[in-house]
Amino acid sequence: MVNPASIMKMMSLRNKFVGNHPKVAEFFKKVLASGLPEGTVIEMTVTKPGQEPITANMKVLQSDIEMMEELKNLSGK
């Protein structure tokens, strides 16, 4: 059973994230709304202050899609 207080806390943290990073939130909304079919490549780059960028990527697998569906089911969406 999911604790309602935990859900409220997560929603508050999500809303704060969206307020702080509206372009990132909109990006995720657009990308995820159409789904991520198997074979999609996701690439991320992190640049810490004073350090060289680090980049990694992944190709979406069927097992990744299944995991995301299960997470959606848990959240009730």
**Selection from 36, 28, 26 nearest residue 66 by Cα:** 36
**Single-letter residue type at 68:** M
pLDDT at residue 47, rounded to an integer = 98
pTM for the full model?
0.66
pLDDT at residue 34, rounded to an integer = 85
Q: Are residues 43 and 35 in contact, defined by beta-carbon separation less than 8 angstroms?
A: no
Instruction: Tally DSSP H helices, then E strands, for the chain.
Output: 3, 2
The pLDDT profile of the chain, 77 residues, written as one tens digit per residue, is 678 898 899 999 999 999 999 999 999 889 888 888 999 999 999 999 999 999 999 999 999 999 988 887 876 65
